[in-house]
Amino acid sequence: MGLLASLAVVVGALLAGGGIFAATNWMIQLNTGSSAEGQSGTVSNLTITAVASPAASNLLYPGGNGDVVVTISNPNPYPVTVTAVNLPTSTTYATRYTTSALTAGQAGCIASTPSDVVWNYATTTSGSSHTLTSALTVAASGQANNSLTVTLSKDATMTAATPTACENTYFSMPSLTCLTATGGAGSVTTSPAADSWTS
């Protein structure tokens, strides 16, 4: 009786093993409607800030064009590439200050006697789009080259009507109305960079 019991155990084990082997060769399919879930992140706006360093190489004078220096900050967890800017009107003037800190106004170069400093190629229509000579890719948040410092070469202009009081003055350019930008992978632009729009 003990021998028979032992044989039963051995045979049962062999059958179980055979059953496991057979099950691995069965074709398994999905039920209709099977799915998985993902979620997209939010998109945050870029920030452009006036800065004094590096100093502008091309300075403004009546009838001439000068450099504008900015930083572009990207709060997103991915790089963002800027390809164009949208400008305010050609009668939206820069504000004027005595130092690069842009805190104390320049006497005589005031709203009643406009600075006559505007973005170059601005038109009478607000929001005109101007393509950058080279696309600027700002690194993801927390990465090197974010913020990105950019010198916009000769993209400010001073009309011949600018008052004498605006001599030796620092200007805060009027806000851009918009940017053309896309998010995703890209070769990050090294800071400091130089760029411009030429029309």
Residue 25 in domain: no
Residue 10 in domain: no
For 84-105, what is each residue's pLDDT tens digit? Answer: 999 999 999 999 999 999 999 8
Residue 64 in domain: yes
End-to-end alpha-carbon separation of the chain, Å?
A: 102
pLDDT for the residue 27: 82
Q: Decide: 51 and 179 in contact? Cβ < 8 Å.
A: no
3-class DSSP assignment, residue 2: helix
pLDDT for the residue 10: 47
Report how far Cα 179 is from the mean position of its chain's Cα atoms: 9
- Which tokens hold the place of 8? 């039963």
Whether residue 128 is predicted with pLDDT greater than 70 in this model: the reply is yes
Higher-confidence residue of 2 and 125: namely 125
Q: Which of 84, 67, 95 is nearest to 182 (CA)?
A: 84
Give the integer Cα–Cα distance in Å for 51 and 102: 9
How many structural domains are present in the chain?
A: 1
Residue 77 domain boundaries: 47-184
Give the integer Cα–Cα distance in Å for 176 and 139: 21
E-assigned strand segments in 6-77: 47-50, 65-73
Higher-confidence residue of 162 and 111: namely 162
Residue 160 in domain: yes
Whether residue 12 is predicted with pLDDT greater than 50 in this model: the reply is no
Residue 139 in domain: yes
For 159-195, what is each residue's pLDDT tens digit? Answer: 998 888 899 999 999 999 999 999 987 799 999 999 9
Residue 194 in domain: no
The DSSP bridge partners found for residue 73 are 47
pTM (two decimals): 0.80
